Amino acid sequence: MSFVPHSPLEVKSMLDTIGVSSIDELFSDIPEDLKPKSFNIPEGKSEFEVIEYLKGLSFKNATSLINFLGAGFYDHYIPAAVDEISSRSEFYTAYTPYQPECSQGWLQSIYEYQTAVCQLTGMDVSNASLYDGGTALYEACMMAIRITGRNKIVMDSGVNMTYRAILYTYTSNLNIEFIETSVVHGQSSRREIYKHLDDKTAAVIVQNPNFFGAIDDHSDIVKEAHARGALLIQSVYPLALGILKTPSEMDCDIATGEGQSLGLPLSFGGPYLGFMATKREYLRKMPGRIVGKTVDKKNRAGYVLTLQTREQHIRRERATSNICSNEALCALRAVVYLSLIGKVGFKELAELNYQKSEFAKSVIDKIPGVEVKRSSPTFNEFTVLLPKNADEVVSKMVAKGYASGFPLGRFYKGMDDYLLIAVTEKRSKEEIVKLAESLEAVLCD
């Protein structure tokens, strides 16, 4: 069984129509000596057996830990209606909306998603989404290089390590100079950034909140970058934008980020959602699909994929990006999520994340020998200095039922005793208090 409908009689009649005597004849272009040297695949199973088998595997994952682990990917609540809508097969079994007349539902949804991204970031225009936050940052970097005709990038080391790694891989064969600047007291080092800003700099890349959870106002860096003819790219945590100063308020040129926090499951790393928004003047340099509004001959409003001449299927080797897909279904989840949470809810939700995390700071700060880093304000994630190696502490906390945070020594040299703790709206007061108690117990061991 492989979901094929053909009865043996139908097969025979189709072969007669084609004028061949067997299916094998249809494959006669494949020379005998090129037939598979092996095709060692187990025989199939029934639906029930496959589900049971994979259920068994799913039980081998530790998903019952109480989650204080973030580091760019967060355990937020997803309203049931988000799953419900994205499970409608008219959405999920549809193709890319290249044929607008039979894809208006998708096109309008993406137009609404683009609008929502603009509302969050304050930017003028958004594309229809990219693979993930890291890819979005890379594409923004290439876009800045195209706009300025320069090839030097100054990047704050408070940018998620995962993204920086992706950026270096993607650009390894290209002539681009990267300079990484330090984080000082939790925030971007102005002194270092300004030192490296020159007439070769295409862009400065910062992140808000940064990897350590610290929030910042990059307006002064933006001014300085613009004075040197460089662009400012800011990678943001969209949920924080419920209360946090927007990239647009700081006059950033391109905003990117990971949309996972907007109604997407963690799902072991994907699929996620890279968003990108920019100023109107740069929109023609923006990669990826874009939906625009127009009219038909009877003047009825409708939506189409527009500016396709930038894209690979038209422009081939001269395209602005090789990307073909966007993450449509993930973008749909995000816009449904944002519509449900709504204008007031979105702000309240960000406040709640902030308040809970501030409460967690106050409780954890009381543990003897533990220091919560308070040199700069944070949104819902913060750095803690432990009296012991964070790796060891974290693995002992697993035994107590907690994913207690991200051991920073994994990404940053010399930070072996630092732990990054995230607190979302899902963490109750009791869970936060118990986390602190368990942490104290583990540290006394």
Partner 1 sequence: MRLIFQKSIEGRRGFKIPKKDSPLDTPFPKEYRREEDAELPQVSELDVVRHYSNLSRMNFSVDTNFYPLGSCTMKYNPKFTEKIARLPGFAELHPLIPQLLGGGLLAQGSLEVIYRTEELLSEITGMSAFTTQPMAGAHGELTGVMITAAYHKFCGNRRKYIVIPDSSHGTNPASAAIAGYEVVVVPTDEQGCMDIDKFKEYLNEDLAGVMLTCPNTLGLFNPKIKEITDLAHKVGALMYYDGANLNAIIGKARPGDLGFDILHLNLHKSFSTPHGGGGPGSGPVGVREELVKFLPIPRVAKRKDGSFALDYEHSDSIGYIAPFYGNFSVLLKAYAYMVYLGKSGLIDVSEKAVLNANYIRVKLKDYFNIPYDRVCMHEFVLSAQEQAECGVRAIDIAKYLIDNGIHPPTVYFPLIVKEAMMIEPTETESMETLDNFIDVMIEAARLSKEDPQRLHRAPENMPVGRLDETKAARDLNLRWQKA
Q: Which is nearer to partner 1, 44 or 368 (CB)?
A: 44
- Report helix, strand or coil for 266: coil
Structure tokens at 385: 């200095």
Taking CB under 8 A as the criterion, the residue among 180, 371, 377, 401 binding partner 1 is 377
Q: Which residue has the tokens 């650009």?
A: 171
Taking CB under 8 A as the criterion, the residue among 407, 418, 421, 442 binding partner 1 is 407
CB of 277 to partner 1, least distance (A): 9
Q: Which is nearer to partner 1, 182 or 395 (CB)?
A: 395
Q: Which is nearer to partner 1, 237 or 406 (CB)?
A: 406
Q: How far apart are the first and last CA of the chain?
A: 57
Asked if 445 interacts with partner 1 (CB under 8 A), we say no
Q: Which is nearer to partner 1, 166 or 183 (CB)?
A: 166
Site for partner 1 in 99-158 (CB under 8 A): 99-106, 108-109, 111-112, 114-116, 118-120, 122, 124-126, 128-129, 131-135
- Report helix, strand or coil for 364: helix
DSSP β-ladder status, 254-258 and 406-407? unpaired
Site for partner 1 in 7-46 (CB under 8 A): 10-11, 13-15, 17-20, 23, 25-31, 33-46
For residue 362, what is the enclosing H or E element?
helix 328-365
Q: Kindly determine how many residues on this chain lie close enough to bind partner 1 according to the rule CB under 8 A.
A: 204
CB of 438 to partner 1, least distance (A): 14
Residues in the chain: 445
**Among candidates 272, 274, 279, which has minimal Cα distance to 246?**
279
Q: Which residues contact 328 (CB under 8 A, 6 or more apart)?
A: 96, 106, 110, 128, 129
Site for partner 1 in 152-191 (CB under 8 A): 162-163, 165-166, 168-170, 172-174
CA atoms in the 13 A half-sphere facing the CB of 213: 32
CB of 262 to partner 1, least distance (A): 11
d(CA 303, CA 256): 24
Asked if 54 interacts with partner 1 (CB under 8 A), we say yes
234 forms bridges with which residues in the sheet? 206, 255
Site for partner 1 in 315-374 (CB under 8 A): 315-319, 321-330, 332, 335-336, 338-349, 351-352, 354-356, 358-359, 362
Site for partner 1 in 67-96 (CB under 8 A): 67, 69, 71-73, 75, 77, 79, 81, 83-85, 87-96
CB of 79 to partner 1, least distance (A): 6
CB of 355 to partner 1, least distance (A): 6
DSSP β-ladder status, 274-278 and 125-126? antiparallel
Asked if 296 interacts with partner 1 (CB under 8 A), we say yes
CB 173 within 8 A of CB 164: no
Structure tokens at 373: 């880093």
